[in-house]
Structure 1
Amino acid sequence: MSNKLKLWYKEPAKEWVESLPLGNGRLGAMVSGDVYNERIALNEDTLWTGIPVDKNNYEAIDYLDEVRNLILNEKYYDAQELMNKKLLAGYTESYAPLGDLNLKFNHIEKYEEYKRELDIENAKVTITYNINKINYKREVFISAPDNAIIIKLTSDKEKSISFSATLKSLLKSEIYQLDKDIIALKGVTPIKALPGYVNEGDSIIYDKNGQLGMRFEVQLKSRIKDGDISVSNGILNIENATDVTLMIVANTSFNGFNKEPGTEGKDEKLLCRTQLEKLKDKSYEEILKDHIRDYKSLFGRVEFSLGDDDFSDIPTNERLERLRLNDEDLGLISLYFQYGRYLLISSSRSGSQPANLQGIWNEDLRPAWSSNYTVNINTEMNYWAAEVCNLSECHTPLLNMLSDLSITGAKTAKIMFNCNGWTTNHNVDLWRYSSTVGGSSEWGFWPMGGAWMCQHLWEHYDFTRDINFLRNEAYPIMKGAATFVLDYLIEDKNGNLVTCPSTSPENNFLDEEGRKCCASIMSTMDIAIIRDLFNNCISAINILNYDKEFKCTLIKAIERIPQYKINKFGGVQEWFKDFDEYEPGHRHMSHLFALYPGKEIIEGKNPSLFQASKKTLERRLSKGGGHTGWSCAWIINFYARLKEADLADKYLHVLLKKLTFINLFCVHPPFQIDGNFGGTAGIAEMLIQSHDEVIEILPAIPSSWSSGSVKGIRARGGFIVDFKWRDSIVTNFSITSTVGGKCKVKFDKSFEGSMINDFIEIDTVAGKTYRLK
C-alpha cells in the first residue's frame, strides 16, 4: 500500500509534540505509540477554565478622550502609559487538557519491526511491532458519527494481549468504576486560571462563593475476545485476550458561552452513557466504516500531486532531514498540503468550537498563550485554507463564534468605547471574551479583531455564493462590526476619519526622543481592515438590494479614510507617520494586509503599492522577520500574491526545514497550528487565485513544480476546478459551476495546444462542468 498520504516512523514518539494527532472536531488525541507504556493524550474542545464573567473595564471610557488628545498632540509615550494603566482589562481563560489514557503492556522483551503511522486519507493511526515472533497491532481513530475514540488491539497469536488501562488528569479529578468493563474519570476545571505564561501557584481557583467550574467526564469501555477483564483501584485489567476494542467517550457540562457550567450545565455523565449505549450493538468494523465514510466525504474532495517524485518509503522524520540537506522532496510538499486539510477537519467540524492556537491538541494546564483565539492574525490564519481547499463546512465553527462575539462584543463596544455595534480585541476564549487584554497596549489594545474576522463571513459567501447565509447570518454581523468602526472613527486636524488610539499589532515605533511607542493615529492595518470590511458590506448590500442608506454612509466614510502611503525605504508605510521602527525585523507584517488576506494591492490596479509591498518584505526579512512558523507562512502567501514563485517556494522550504516538528506540527516556537494552516493556504495560493474577479491558474508555481495535478480545489464565485500541467504548461482543465454565473479564467502558463495567455469567459449553468480542449 502506498505511503503517499501517510506520516510514518520507525520509533515511538519521545515527547508529546512527536505524537500523532487525531480528532473529530470535538475530541482530540495525541498517540505516542510507545510499545510498553502507551500514552494517548486526550482533549475535548469545550474544556476550558473559567465561567462567564464580565471582564470589561468600566472606567476605560473615562480616559479615552484624554488618551486621544495626547495622541493628537503627538505625546505617544504618555498616551500609551495612560492606556496601559486605564484602558486595558483582563485575560482570557485557558484551554485545558482533558487527561491521558495510559496503557501499560506486559511486554518485557525487546521489540522489532516497529512502525508507527498516521494515514491522513482515512484519519487513523496504526502501530505495529513484533515481540517473540508475535505480531502486535494497534489501530486508533476518532469517529465523528459515533462521537468516540476507538482503539483496536490485535495480534496474530491467540490470547497474547495483556495490559492495564487507566485514566488520569492534571485537573481536579477522580477515577471510579461504572461496570465490570467500564472505568470513568470525572473532574472539574478551575473557575479562574491566569494565562499560561504566568506561573503563580495560587492563581488557580477551583471554587469561590458557590461558583463551580466546568465539569467533565471520560468513560472507557472495553470489549474483548477471549481472556478476562477486571477493575481494581481505578485500573482496567485485560488478561490473555485475543483482540480488544477500547471505546472512549468524553463530555463536559458546557452549555453555551453565557451559561455557568457548574449550575446551568449539561449532564456530562448522561451524555457519555448515551454515546456508549449507541455503540453497544455496533461492531468495530461498522464503527470504522462509518468513520471513514464520514471523514472521506470531506478529505476526499481534493487531490494534489507534484509529479512522480515519491520518497514515501522513507520515514517522515528522515524526509524532513533530507530536505534540510537540500534534497528536494515534492511529495513532502503535497503531503504537507493535505496534512493541513487533515488537521482542519480534525479540529474544526460542524457543531464544534473553532480551531484554537493549537487546533484541538494541548497537554498543558497552562498552555502557551492560554491556547486561546488570538485574533490579530493567528485565528484568522487557521481558516485561510478552509474555502479554497473545499472545506467550507469546517469554516462554520469560526463563523458561529462571530455570532456569539457580536453579543459579548456589543457590551464591550458600549461600556469601553461608547460605540454601537460590536468589537473584539486581541484574545477570545470559550466565554467569548471581547475586552482589551492586560499586559501592554502593544498587543492588548486592538479593537479591530471583530472587523478582521468579518472578512471570513464574506469569504464564505464569496466561495459558496450562498445568498441565504449572506442575508441571514453574515451581513447582520458584518454590519454590526462596521457600525462599531463608524462610531469609533474620529476626525483629525485634516478632516480625515481616523481610528485613535490605533496600534499595528504587537509592533512599536520610536518617538522623537527615541522611546518605544505603540499607539498613534490610524495604522495602515486599520485602514486596510476597515476598507475591506466597508467594501464587503457595500457588496453585500448591492447583492441583497436593501440597506442603501447604510451603504451611502459607508461610501462617504471610505472617501474620508486616509490613503496608503509609501515610506522613506520605498515600502508600505506602517503608521500614519513615517516613524523609525523599534524592531525592523518584526514578525508581524500587518501593514501588508491589503496584499493578503485583503485584495486591494493588485499589480494591475495599484502598481506602486504592489512594488512597495516587495520592498517591505525585503526589508523586514533582511532584518530577521519571518522567524516564527505563522509569520513564515504569511510570507509564503504574500509572495504568491506578488507572483514571486521562487520566493514563495523559498519560504515554504524555510517553514518545512526550520519550523516544523517531526510530526509536521508547526513550530512557533512552541507548537502553534496556525503555520500549518497558513502553509497549506500558501500552497493553494501558488496554484490558484481568484481574489481579483478572475480565476488564475498556476499564478505562482516555481520551476521545480514543473508537472502536477489538482482536483477539487475551489475558487470564488462557486467554482470547483481541476487541472493538470506538464513542463509548466496546463494540459487538462475543467471547471464545475455550483451556482451558475459568469466565469473568467486566466492561464498564467499557456494552455497546451494553444496560445491562451489571456482571459477566457464562460457563462456557466449551475451543476454543469466545462472542459477546455
Structure 2
Amino acid sequence: MLIPDPPRRRRGKARARLMLAAVAALGLFSGASLAAQNLQLHYDAPANTFNEALPLGNGRMGVMVYGGVQQARYSLSEISMFSGSRYDGADRKEAVNYLPKIRQLLLQGRNVEAEQLTNQHFTWSGEGANAHYGTYQGLGTLTLDFAANAAPVSDYRRRLDIPSATSDVRYAQDGVRYRREMFVSAPDQVMVLHLSADRAGALNFVARLDRAERASVEGDGANGLLMRGELDSGGSGKGLAFAARVRVIAPGASMHADAHGIRVEHGTDVTVLISEATDYDGFAGRHTTDPVAASATDLQRVASRSVAQLHAAHVADFSSWFDRFSLQLGSVDNTRETMSMRARLDTYGASGDPGFAALYFQYARYLLISSSRPGGLPANLQGLWAEGTSTPWNGDYHTNVNIEMNYWPAEPTGLGELVQPLFALTASLQQPGAKTAQRYYGARGWVVHTLTNLWGFTAPGAEASWGVWQGAPAWLSFHIWDHYRYTGDRDFLRRYYPVLRGAAQFYADVLIEEPSHHWLVTAPSSSPENTVYMENGGKAAIVMGPTMDEELIRFLFGAVIEASQTLHVDADFRRELEAKRARLAPIQIGPDGRIQEYLKPYREVEVHHRHVSHLWALFPGNQIDLAKTPKLAAAAARSLDVRGDDSTGWSEAYKVNLWAHLGDGNRALHLLNVLFKPASRDTRLGHEWAGTYPNLFNAGPPFQIDGNFGATSGMVEMLMQSEPGQLDLLPALPDAWPQGEVRGLHARGGFVIDMRWAKGKLVEASVRSLRGGDCKVRYGKRQVLLSTKAGQTYKLQPADFL
C-alpha cells in the first residue's frame, strides 16, 4: 500500500509536528504553528474527460489517470512529442527589403496600409501544425479492460496525493476490494502502476497500448508490449521517432502478450511498468537516440526492484523539491478537505475556502515539478500532458505571456532550478534568431516573435495582428536576469550574458526615431493581439513603439548595462545602451487617466481585451510602484478597472498579480475567486467559460496551464514582494485570509522568509540570508534595515519595525 489508508490525516499531523519541532529548534518561530492541511484531490467517480483525469509526471513523461472501473484509461505523453522539423524556409529572405516602406507608412500614420504590407511580406506563410512547424501530441493510450462484472460498485474513491505525487483508485465490487496506485519516477524514468485485490486471483484484464496514427504495436515477450512510430516531419525529412513499452509483472498469474494486448488471468498483486523514449536530442536537433533501445534499457534497469523501492526513490526525489515550501491559509476544515473536488469547487464561492487557495497553490507547484526538470524541455501550454494527435494552439511555446507565466512561481517558491529548461530554450534561439534578425530587420543579435517550438522557429507568425511582435527576446531575457537577482550566481550570469547581449544588440539596431517627441521606438510591432482604431477610423494592430515594447527594452538595456559592469565587459556597448535607453518613450498616462497602451491614445476595438500587456511595468517589470510612482500606479488601476475582471483564465491570473502590486489584496482575491469558479459550458450558446476544471486545471478555455501558474504567482505577490535588498511582507493580504503561515518564500537578493500572521496582522517573521548583505524589510508603512551575514537567520516581530 503506497499511500496510507485512511487518508494522510494522522501522518500529515505527525509530519507537521516533526517539521515544527525542527523549526522551533532553529529558533525561527516562537509561537505555535497552524495544523497542516491535507494536500489531496478527492473524487467519488471516475473521470470521463481529460479535464477530470489526474495528472502525473516526472518532467519528461506524463500520464492522465481516468480511474475507470471496467476500463482503466491512461493517456500517455512525452514532452518532446512534437511533429514537424527544423526548417530554414520559415524566414522570408526578402522581408528586410520591405522594412523601410513599412516604417515609412507607420511614420506617416498610415498604419492600415503598413499592416497590409506587413501581412504580404513580413509574416510566415507556412501551414502550422500540418507542415514543418508541427504540433505537440499525446504519445498514446494504455487501456486496461477488466473482465465483465455486472455487480454494483461501492466505496469508490479516486485521489491524487500531492506530497507523494501518487494517484490512487480504490473501490469494492462483488465482495472484493480493488486498488490501483500509480506514480511516474524521475530517478528511474519509468511509470509504475500497481494493482492489487484482497481476494487471490481476482485480477483479470487485458492491457492494450495504442495510438490513433503513425504507430504500430507488437508483443514484447510473454508479458510486454512495444509501440513504435514516427511523427510527420511536415516535409521530406525524417520525423521524430518514438517508442513506448509496457511490461506486466504478476506473480502467480497466467499471461500472454501479442499485438492485441497482454492478457492477465488470476492475478492478485500486479505491477505494470511503462517506459517511453523519442530520438529528440535536445535543442541541437540531431536524431541520434534509438528510442526502441532506450525504452528497453529503462525497463531493464528497474527489473529487479520492488514497487516499494521504486516508490521510495520517487518520493524522495519529489519531496526534495516539494518540501522546500509550505503554506497554510486559515484553520484546517476536515469536512472540506475530504469533500469531492467537484463539490468543493461548487461550494467555494458560497462561503469562501482559504484552504482551497492553499491547495491550489501547492497543486501548481506540483504541476511545475512534474512538467519541468533541469536538463529537459520547458513546460508548454499544457505543461506536458496531452492526448490525441493535436493540442490547442499546437501546445507550443507562446512568448507574449504564456511561457513566461509558466515560470512566475518558480523562483519565489524554492523551485528556481526548474527554470533551467526555459533558459536553455532561450539560448537555443540565438542561432536561428540571428538569421531572422538579419532577414527581417538587417540587425545584429537575435529575435523570436510570438511563438516558437522545439525546432527553433523564430519567424513572425502567420498574421500581422498577432504574429509580428518584437518584445519576446527581452521578456525571455527577464527570466535569466531575474534568476541572477535571486541567486547572485555570477557564473550563471557569465554563461548567459551572451544571450542578454544578443537581445540588446537586436533592439539597439531596430529602434527608430518617431517624429513627435524624437523617442526611440520599435517599428513594426504590436501590443500583443490587440487592435485599435486609427485616427482616420481604420483598424490596425501594427504600430510604432507600443508601451509594452518600450517597458521591456528599458528593462533589458538596464540589465545588460548592470551585467556588463558586474562582469567588466563591453564598455563601449554599455555606453551605446545608456544613450539609447535615455531616449526610449516614457510610460504615458492617457487623457482618460489610464496607462496609455500606445504612443498615441488610440481607442481599443475591444475594450475588455484579454491582454494587459502595457501593464508589464507594474508586474513583473516593477517599473511602476505604489510608493515611487503613485500617479502611474493610479493609472494602472484605472486601466484594470476599464479592462474588467472576467476574461480568459490566464488573463484573470495575470490580474491577480497586478492588483497585488497595487496593494489591493481584496481585489486580487476577487480575481482568484473568479478564476476558481467551476468552468462551465453554456449549452444554449455552445460557449465554454473560463474558470477551473474538476481536476483543477485552468480553463482558458481550453485548458492552459499558465493560468494555474499565474494564479499561484499572484498569491505569492499577495504575501510577499521583493526587489534586491528590499522585502515587503504581507503587502496585499486580503481580509478573508486573517490567519496563515508560510515557510520557504524566496526573495530577490538571496533571502528566505518564514512568517506567521493572525487577525490580519503579522505575528512574527524570520529572514534567512543566503549570501549576506543589507536588506530593508517593510511591513505596511514601517520598515527595518537588516545588515545580514550569509547563513544567519534574523527573527522579526511587529515591534521591530519603525
TM-score calculated relative to the size of structure 1:
0.94
Is the CA contact (8 Å cut-off) linking 2:471 and 2:548 kept in structure 1? no
- 1:535 match: 558
Is the CA contact (8 Å cut-off) linking 1:225 and 1:241 kept in structure 2? yes
Whole-angstrom CA distance in 1 between matches of 2:325 and 2:730: 16
Question: In the alignment, is residue 253 of structure 1 matched against residue 279 of structure 2?
Answer: yes
The one-letter code of the counterpart of 1:465 is G
Whole-angstrom CA distance in 1 between matches of 2:535 and 2:750: 51
The one-letter code of the counterpart of 1:240 is H
Question: In the alignment, is residue 679 of structure 1 matched against residue 711 of structure 2?
Answer: yes
- 1:328 match: 352
- 1:95 match: 136
Whole-angstrom CA distance in 2 between matches of 1:314 and 1:591: 41
Whole-angstrom CA distance in 2 between matches of 1:144 and 1:396: 16
SS of the aligned residue for 2:220 comes to strand
- 2:751 match: 719
The one-letter code of the counterpart of 1:570 is G
Is the CA contact (8 Å cut-off) linking 2:220 and 2:258 kept in structure 1? no
- 1:227 match: 253
Q: How does 1:201-280 map to 2 (within 5 A)?
A: 209=236, 211-259=237-285, 261=287, 265-280=288-303
- 2:657 match: 637
Whole-angstrom CA distance in 2 between matches of 1:648 and 1:539: 33
Whole-angstrom CA distance in 2 between matches of 1:595 and 1:344: 25
State the Cα distance separating 1:232 from its structure 2 match: 3.1
Question: In the alignment, is residue 628 of structure 1 matched against residue 648 of structure 2?
Answer: yes
Q: Could you list the per-position Cα deviations for residues 24-59 of structure 1 after superposition, in whole angstroms to 9, with x for gaps in the alignment?
A: 000010000001111100000111101111111112
Q: How does 1:141-160 map to 2 (within 5 A)?
A: 141-160=183-202
Q: Which of 93, 96, 100 is the aligned partner of 1:61?
A: 96
State the Cα distance separating 1:171 from its structure 2 match: 3.0
State the Cα distance separating 1:656 from its structure 2 match: 0.3
Q: Which of 56, 64, 74 is the aligned partner of 2:109?
A: 74
SS of the aligned residue for 1:179 comes to coil
Question: In the alignment, is residue 165 of structure 1 matched against residue 200 of structure 2?
Answer: no
SS of the aligned residue for 1:18 comes to coil
Q: How does 1:741-756 map to 2 (within 5 A)?
A: 741-748=773-780
- 1:519 match: 542
Q: Could you list the per-position Cα deviations for residues 562-603 of structure 1 after superposition, in whole angstroms to 9, with x for gaps in the alignment?
A: 111111210000011111111111000011010011110012
State the Cα distance separating 1:107 from its structure 2 match: 4.3
Q: Which of 752, 761, 770 is the aligned partner of 2:785?
A: 761
Whole-angstrom CA distance in 1 between matches of 2:402 and 2:426: 15
SS of the aligned residue for 2:732 comes to coil
SS of the aligned residue for 1:458 comes to helix
Question: In the alignment, is residue 303 of structure 1 matched against residue 322 of structure 2?
Answer: no
Is the CA contact (8 Å cut-off) linking 2:470 and 2:549 kept in structure 1? no
Is the CA contact (8 Å cut-off) linking 1:309 and 1:329 kept in structure 2? no
State the Cα distance separating 1:414 from its structure 2 match: 1.2
The one-letter code of the counterpart of 2:554 is R
State the Cα distance separating 1:558 from its structure 2 match: 1.0
SS of the aligned residue for 1:180 comes to coil
Is the CA contact (8 Å cut-off) linking 1:423 and 1:451 kept in structure 2? no
Is the CA contact (8 Å cut-off) linking 1:724 and 1:732 kept in structure 2? yes
Is the CA contact (8 Å cut-off) linking 2:436 and 2:447 kept in structure 1? yes
Whole-angstrom CA distance in 2 between matches of 1:260 and 1:476: 24
SS of the aligned residue for 2:677 comes to helix
State the Cα distance separating 1:258 from its structure 2 match: 4.2
Whole-angstrom CA distance in 2 between matches of 1:563 and 1:771: 41
- 1:483 match: 505
- 2:521 match: 498
Is the CA contact (8 Å cut-off) linking 2:191 and 2:275 kept in structure 1? yes
State the Cα distance separating 1:125 from its structure 2 match: 0.4
State the Cα distance separating 1:485 from its structure 2 match: 0.5
State the Cα distance separating 1:260 from its structure 2 match: 5.1
- 1:52 match: 86
- 1:464 match: 487
The one-letter code of the counterpart of 1:227 is A
Closer, same or farther in 2 for the Cα pair 1:583/1:692, shift >3 Å? farther
State the Cα distance separating 1:736 from its structure 2 match: 1.3
SS of the aligned residue for 1:615 comes to helix
The one-letter code of the counterpart of 2:507 is V
State the Cα distance separating 1:11 from its structure 2 match: 0.2
The one-letter code of the counterpart of 2:136 is Y
Question: In the alignment, is residue 568 of structure 1 matched against residue 600 of structure 2?
Answer: no
The one-letter code of the counterpart of 1:212 is K
Closer, same or farther in 2 for the Cα pair 1:171/1:768, shift >3 Å? farther
- 1:406 match: 430
State the Cα distance separating 1:520 from its structure 2 match: 1.4
Closer, same or farther in 2 for the Cα pair 1:256/1:233, shift >3 Å? closer
Q: Could you list the per-position Cα deviations for residues 321-375 of structure 1 after superposition, in whole angstroms to 9, with x for gaps in the alignment?
A: 0013x22111100000001100000100112110000110111322111011000
Aligned length: 740
Q: Could you list the per-position Cα deviations for residues 624-660 of structure 1 after superposition, in whole angstroms to 9, with x for gaps in the alignment?
A: x541000000000000000011100100100001510
Is the CA contact (8 Å cut-off) linking 2:465 and 2:542 kept in structure 1? yes
The one-letter code of the counterpart of 1:642 is L
Q: Could you list the per-position Cα deviations for residues 193-251 of structure 1 after superposition, in whole angstroms to 9, with x for gaps in the alignment?
A: xxxxxxxxxxxxxxx54x22111000101111211111133311111011001110000
Q: Which of 721, 727, 731 is the aligned partner of 1:695?
A: 727
Whole-angstrom CA distance in 1 between matches of 2:722 and 2:776: 9
- 2:3 match: none
Q: Which of 313, 325, 330 is the aligned partner of 2:338?
A: 313
5+ residue gaps in structure 1? 193-207, 749-756
Deviates more, 1:760-769 or 1:160-169: 760-769
SS of the aligned residue for 2:411 comes to coil
Is the CA contact (8 Å cut-off) linking 2:470 and 2:522 kept in structure 1? no
Instruction: Name the Cα RMSD after superposition.
Output: 1.3
5+ residue gaps in structure 2? 1-7, 10-36, 679-690, 798-802
Q: Could you list the per-position Cα deviations for residues 656-693 of structure 1 after superposition, in whole angstroms to 9, with x for gaps in the alignment?
A: 01510010000001111100000000001100000374
Is the CA contact (8 Å cut-off) linking 1:249 and 1:272 kept in structure 2? yes
Whole-angstrom CA distance in 2 between matches of 1:257 and 1:737: 36
Is the CA contact (8 Å cut-off) linking 1:706 and 1:727 kept in structure 2? yes
Is the CA contact (8 Å cut-off) linking 2:225 and 2:259 kept in structure 1? no
Q: How does 1:317-396 map to 2 (within 5 A)?
A: 317-324=342-349, 326-396=350-420
Question: In the alignment, is residue 23 of structure 1 matched against residue 57 of structure 2?
Answer: yes
State the Cα distance separating 1:761 from its structure 2 match: 1.6
Q: Could you list the per-position Cα deviations for residues 305-330 of structure 1 after superposition, in whole angstroms to 9, with x for gaps in the alignment?
A: 01214210111110000013x22111
SS of the aligned residue for 1:16 comes to coil
Whole-angstrom CA distance in 2 between matches of 1:426 and 1:598: 19
Percent of residue pairs bearing the same amino acid type: 37
The one-letter code of the counterpart of 2:194 is K
Q: Which of 469, 477, 500 is the aligned partner of 1:446?
A: 469
Whole-angstrom CA distance in 2 between matches of 1:143 and 1:273: 16
The one-letter code of the counterpart of 1:53 is Y
- 1:706 match: 738
SS of the aligned residue for 1:690 comes to strand
State the Cα distance separating 1:436 from its structure 2 match: 0.4
State the Cα distance separating 1:559 from its structure 2 match: 0.9
Is the CA contact (8 Å cut-off) linking 2:725 and 2:774 kept in structure 1? no
Q: Could you list the per-position Cα deviations for residues 526-567 of structure 1 after superposition, in whole angstroms to 9, with x for gaps in the alignment?
A: 111101111111222232233222221111111111111111
SS of the aligned residue for 1:720 comes to strand
The one-letter code of the counterpart of 1:104 is D
- 1:429 match: 453
